[in-house]
């Protein structure tokens, strides 16, 4: 019997999520990590085993550019974990696509890229088809809890009139960059100013609404989003930040999609330090009505990494193109 060659994978972006992705990839017998790409001067040239603490990655190095990595080998797929904006991701992905290399990305705006820029999405899709590459955006949120999971639940519905999701996240358990991104330690006014300018908050809430609408075939009138600061009632200290009483310790974000003048999709997320009773809750109003509660919530950082790695085989089996969750097989453990 012929031995099946492992899928060759490279990591683009070596922040906390990128490093955890490498550690998980190293445990999979069907994957072989060939290296990483990152611009950070303190990482370029280093051994991935030293960066991750994973001995199985000994001998794999960090390269400053994709071109330098290609001197070692050409991956079948790149795990991309560097940016949140679609436009910024497109600039990084185009050279990869032109090489015929597929990509699984944690970029929040890639879960439904046409919502952000239909022309750019169409151009990248055509480029993928031309070069035989696949690009897929996924994660825990967006990418699963507040969008893909509600759409899957609707598969047992005779009718669906409205979808609502609430997510409460204890941000004290999350990585440092996220704790800072949600405004920890800022004044409430500073958070709300930065949120209004698109410089703070949870990325991808509007994109989740767009993905739900796409999955259900709903044409929406519009999508709106609001965000306000959660204010610390006492001093809070984590491994990454210190917050004084009265300062911002996180966010309360609300996204609404309307159809025929009525609110049909409501997504609400509270992500703040020391949040009690973390959970994910989904309600489908229709026939039959559905109420789903995930006690403790889906662990964000761990689940995002798993979503990226588990998606690889499904993405490589899909048609070339800029793919959505509706274009590939259902999420599953591999």
CATH of the domain at 211: 3.30.360
Instruction: Looking at the structure, tell me whether residues 27 and 107 fall in a common domain.
Output: yes
Instruction: Looking at the structure, tell me whether residues 230 and 246 fall in a common domain.
Output: yes
Our measurement of the distance from residue 179's CA atom to the centroid of its chain's CA atoms, rounded to an integer in Å, reads: 16
Instruction: Looking at the structure, tell me whether residues 36 and 91 fall in a common domain.
Output: yes
| pLDDT tens per residue across span 183-234 | 999 999 999 999 999 899 999 999 999 999 999 999 999 999 999 999 999 9
Of 302, 309, 306, nearest in space to 7 by CA: 309
In sequence order, what DSSP letters do the residues of 34-45 get, joined into one string?
EEEE---TTTTT
Instruction: Looking at the structure, tell me whether residues 205 and 112 fall in a common domain.
Output: no
Rg of the chain, C-alpha, whole Å: 20
What is the pLDDT confidence band of residue 290, given thresholds at 50, 70 and 90? very high
Query: Distance between CA atoms of 231 and 208, rounded to whole angstroms?
Result: 26
Instruction: Looking at the structure, tell me whether residues 66 and 136 fall in a common domain.
Output: yes
β pairing state of 248-259 and 222-231: antiparallel
pLDDT at residue 299, rounded to an integer: 84
Instruction: Looking at the structure, tell me whether residues 87 and 225 fall in a common domain.
Output: no
Instruction: Looking at the structure, tell me whether residues 48 and 179 fall in a common domain.
Output: no
Size of the chain in residues: 334
- For the cut 70, the answer to whether the pLDDT of residue 6 exceeds it is yes
Residue 131 in any domain: the answer is: yes
Instruction: Looking at the structure, tell me whether residues 119 and 197 fall in a common domain.
Output: no
Residue 238 in any domain: the answer is: yes
Q: What percent of the chain has pLDDT over 70?
A: 99
Q: Please, are residues 177 and 15 in contact by the beta-carbon 8 Å criterion?
A: yes
Instruction: State the pTM of this model.
Output: 0.96
Residue 240 in any domain: the answer is: yes
Residue 2 in any domain: the answer is: no
pLDDT at residue 237, rounded to an integer: 96
Question: Can you list the alpha helix ranges (DSSP code H) found in the chain?
Answer: 16-25, 48-52, 66-70, 86-98, 113-116, 118-131, 148-153, 176-181, 188-196, 205-216, 300-317
pLDDT at residue 300, rounded to an integer: 79
Instruction: Looking at the structure, tell me whether residues 317 and 277 fall in a common domain.
Output: no
What is the pLDDT confidence band of residue 3, given thresholds at 50, 70 and 90? low
What phi-psi label fits residue 233: left (phi over 0), alpha (psi between -120 and 50 degrees) or beta?
alpha
Query: Distance between CA atoms of 247 and 231, rounded to whole angstroms?
Result: 6
Query: How deeply is 49 buried, as exposed, middle or buried, from its count of CB atoms within 10 A (0-12, 13-18, 19+)?
Result: middle
Domain of residue 24, residue span? 7-140+302-327
pLDDT averaged over the chain? 96
Region 278-303 average pLDDT? 95
Instruction: Looking at the structure, tell me whether residues 263 and 313 fall in a common domain.
Output: no
Phi/psi of residue 261, nearest 5 degrees: 80, 0
Residue 332 in any domain: the answer is: no
pLDDT at residue 272, rounded to an integer: 97
SS3 category, 58: coil
Instruction: Looking at the structure, tell me whether residues 155 and 280 fall in a common domain.
Output: yes
Residue 333 in any domain: the answer is: no
Write down the residue that tokens 């960059």 correspond to.
Answer: 177
Q: 175 versus 146: which is more confidently predicted?
A: 146
Domain count, the chain: 2
pLDDT at residue 171, rounded to an integer: 95
pLDDT at residue 1, rounded to an integer: 44
122: number of CA atoms within 13 Å, CB side?
A: 3
Query: Distance between CA atoms of 195 and 215, rounded to whole angstroms?
Result: 28
pLDDT at residue 319, rounded to an integer: 98
Q: For residue 129, what are its two tokens?
A: 């088809």
Residue 157 in any domain: the answer is: yes
- For the cut 50, the answer to whether the pLDDT of residue 276 exceeds it is yes
Least confident of 2-6, 25-29, 274-278, 288-292: 2-6
Phi/psi of residue 106, nearest 5 degrees: -95, 5
Residue 102 in any domain: the answer is: yes
Q: For residue 8, what are its two tokens?
A: 């060759």
Interhelix angle for 16-25 vs 300-317, to 10°?
Answer: 60
Interhelix angle for 118-131 vs 86-98, to 10°?
Answer: 20
| pLDDT tens per residue across span 37-66 | 999 999 999 999 999 999 999 999 999 999
Instruction: Looking at the structure, tell me whether residues 292 and 312 fall in a common domain.
Output: no
CATH no. for residue 80? Answer: 3.40.50.720
Query: Distance between CA atoms of 270 and 278, rounded to whole angstroms?
Result: 9
What is the pLDDT confidence band of residue 177, given thresholds at 50, 70 and 90? confident
């Amino acid at each position: 019997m012929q031995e099946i060659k492992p899928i060759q994978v490279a990591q683009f972006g070596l922040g906390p999520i990128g490093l955890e992705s490498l550690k998980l990839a190293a445990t999979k017998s069907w994957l072989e990590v060939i290296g990483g790409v990152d611009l950070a001067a303190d990482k370029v040239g280093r051994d991935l085993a030293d960066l991750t603490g994973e001995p199985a990655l000994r001998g794999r190095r960090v390269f400053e550019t994709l071109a330098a990595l290609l001197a070692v080998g050409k991956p079948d797929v790149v795990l991309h974990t560097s940016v949140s904006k679609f436009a910024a991701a497109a600039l990084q992905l185009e050279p990869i696509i032109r090489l015929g290399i597929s990509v699984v990305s944690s970029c929040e705006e890639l879960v439904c890229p046409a919502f952000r820029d239909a022309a750019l999405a169409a151009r990248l899709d055509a480029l993928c088809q031309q070069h035989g590459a696949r690009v897929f955006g996924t994660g825990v949120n967006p990418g699963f809890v507040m969008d893909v999971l509600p759409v899957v639940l609707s598969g047992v519905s005779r009718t669906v009139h409205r979808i609502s999701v609430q997510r409460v996240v204890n941000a004290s358990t999350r990585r440092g960059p996220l704790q800072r991104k949600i405004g920890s330690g800022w004044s409430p006014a500073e958070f709300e100013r930065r949120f209004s300018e698109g410089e703070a908050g949870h990325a991808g809430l509007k994109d989740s609404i767009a993905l739900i609408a796409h999955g259900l075939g709903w044409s929406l009138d519009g999508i709106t989003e609001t965000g306000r600061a959660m204010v610390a009632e006492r001093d809070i200290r984590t491994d990454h930040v210190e917050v004084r009483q009265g300062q911002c310790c996180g966010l309360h974000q609300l996204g609404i999609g309307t159809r025929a003048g009525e609110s049909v999709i409501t997504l609400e997320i509270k992500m703040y330090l020391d949040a009690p009773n973390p959970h994910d809750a989904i309600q489908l109003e229709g026939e039959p009505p559905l109420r789903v509660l995930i006690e403790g919530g889906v662990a964000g950082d761990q689940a995002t990494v798993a979503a990226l790695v588990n998606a690889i085989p499904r993405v490589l089996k899909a048609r070339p193109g800029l793919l959505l969750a509706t274009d590939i097989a259902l999420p599953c453990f591999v």
